Each structure stands twice: as structure tokens, then as C-alpha cells.
């Protein structure tokens, strides 16, 4: 019944990878929302200028920011004031990490309008990387009602299917004891320091990279 209420569910596999990317681009370019697989959990994505749609679907407080998803390290330098070396960025990304920097004027004001910073990530997932490279950086958040459990397969967010225009079904994301924690979120807006905003699924390895690069933890 619920599947009939969704505009479209597209199973992602090797045979229709290109079609899936293009269908998602078509959907987003029409000011709509898609559900997508990432390297951590399923997410909801839209064009940056339509990020308000994500808040409505999730019933999310406007005080809570949404991440920017990009396809290349070079995008960090466009949308944020990077305070760390490119070597550090490449040691962490693509991967289950969101890095927070001071935003630049290149980022539309409608994206997290009440914040001077922006969290940016490159999921280690070929579909998301190709989507952002071929289309544009996207607003990205978890596919659930705000404060609800994160989802590892599309059936787990059936309650919001009717609000979504396209669902890319990448199958079940492998589950571990950290799977549902989402990406590790790190504030790097102050040079030489890092602050863990959310432990996420990759805290240990992320902290090891930051410490190796000489950064000190800020409480």
C-alpha cells in the first residue's frame, strides 16, 4: 500500500547506476526531495535552495543545521574557510565524517541561515559521490522524523514515504553496533583545534587522524 503512495522507488544496482543518478538529478532539479543511501545510514537530500523541504518532512527544528554533501575535496574551499591541510581532508574523506568550518558567501543564505558555520561531508558511497559531481552540492540529512532512529533500509522509514518524491533503494546498509550513529561530526572552525560535536560511527579513527596532524581537542 505504502509503495503505491510513493512517486517512485528505484532499485540501485550495477545495471542501472547511470539511470539512478540521472533520475535523482531530474527529481532534485524539479525542487523535489529524494531518499538516498550513504556510507552510514539512509538520507534525505534536496538542492541547497530547497533545504526547507527537508525540515518539513522530518518535522525538524529550524535551529538544527543540515549538512552539505559534496563530491570533491575542492568543494570544501568553495563553501567553507578550511583551517586544516588538504592532507588531513583526504585522510578523512570520503568517509563517515562531517567537518564543520566557517561558511563562505558562496553558500546560499537559505542553507542554515542562523549559523556562521557549515558541516560538509563526502559519503564513501559511489552513488552519492557521482550524484554530487554531476549535479551540484546538496543538502543532506537522515531519513527519519527528527530525533527518531536512523535507518539502514528503506522499509524502516516507510512512515515518511508519502512525503518523498523518489527513493533510491541501495539495499540494506551493513549493520554494526555503531551503524545507526551516523557520521562523526567534528568542528574544525578554529585553527589548530578540533571539537567532537557528535561521536557518530567513526570517532576512534577520526580522532586518531586529527591527533596525528597535531590538532588539540577543544571541550
Rounded Cα–Cα distance for residues 42 and 115 (Å): 25
Residue 7 has pLDDT above 70, yes or no: no
Entry pTM: 0.94
Residue 51: pLDDT over 90:
yes
Contacts of residue 159, Cβ cutoff 8 Å, sequence gap at least 6: 145
Share the mean pLDDT of the chain.
95
Task: Please provide the CATH number assigned to the domain covering 2-217.
Answer: 3.90.870.10
How much is the pLDDT for 177?
A: 86
Q: How far is CA 31 from the centre of its chain?
A: 18
pLDDT band at 6 (very low <50, low <70, confident <90, very high): low
Mean pLDDT, residues 97-122 taken together = 97
Residue 66, pLDDT above cutoff 80? yes
Q: What tens digit of pLDDT does each residue of 149-200 get?
A: 999 999 999 999 999 999 999 999 999 888 899 999 999 999 999 999 999 9
Q: What is the pLDDT of residues 205-215, one digit of tens each?
A: 999 999 999 99
- Per-residue model confidence (pLDDT) at position 217: 97
| Confidence grade of residue 69 (pLDDT, cut at 50, 70, 90) | very high
Reported confidence tier of residue 1, pLDDT bands at 50, 70, 90: very low
Question: What confidence tens digit (pLDDT) does each residue in 117-140 have?
Answer: 999 999 999 999 999 999 999 999
Would you kindly state where each structural domain of the chain is located, as residue ranges? 2-217
Amino acid at each position: 500500500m505504502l509503495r503505491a503512495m510513493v512517486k517512485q522507488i528505484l532499485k540501485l544496482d550495477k545495471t542501472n547506476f547511470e539511470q539512478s543518478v540521472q533520475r535523482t538529478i531530474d527529481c532534485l532539479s524539479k525542487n523535489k526531495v529524494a531518499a538516498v543511501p550513504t556510507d552510514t545510514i539512509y538520507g534525505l537530500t534536496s538542492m541547497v535552495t530547497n533545504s526547507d523541504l527537508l525540515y518539513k518532512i522530518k518535522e525538524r527544528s529550524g535551529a538544527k543545521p543540515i549538512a552539505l554533501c559534496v563530491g570533491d575535496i575542492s568543494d570544501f574551499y568553495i563553501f567553507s574557510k578550511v583551517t586544516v591541510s588538504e592532507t588531513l581532508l583526504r585522510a578523512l574523506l570520503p568517509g563517515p565524517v562531517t567537518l564543520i568550518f566557517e561558511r563562505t558567501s558562496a553558500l546560499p543564505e537559505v542553507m542554515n541561515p542562523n549559523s556562521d558555520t557549515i558541516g560538509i561531508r563526502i559519503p564513501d558511497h559511489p552513488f552519492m559521490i557521482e550524484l554530487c559531481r554531476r549535479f551540484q552540492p546538496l543538502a543532506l540529512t537522515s531519513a527519519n522524523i527528527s530525533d527518531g532512529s536512523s535507518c539502514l533500509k528503506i522499509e524502516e522509514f516507510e512512515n515518511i514515504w508519502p512525503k518523498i518524491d523518489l527513493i533510491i533503494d541501495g539495499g540494506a546498509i551493513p549493520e554494526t553496533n555503531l551503524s545507526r550513529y551516523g557520521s562523526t561530526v567534528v568542528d574544525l572552525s578554529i585553527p589548530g583545534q578540533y571539537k567532537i560535536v557528535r561521536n557518530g560511527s567513526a570517532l576512534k579513527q577520526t580522532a586518531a587522524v586529527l591527533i596525528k596532524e597535531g590538532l588539540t581537542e577543544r571541550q
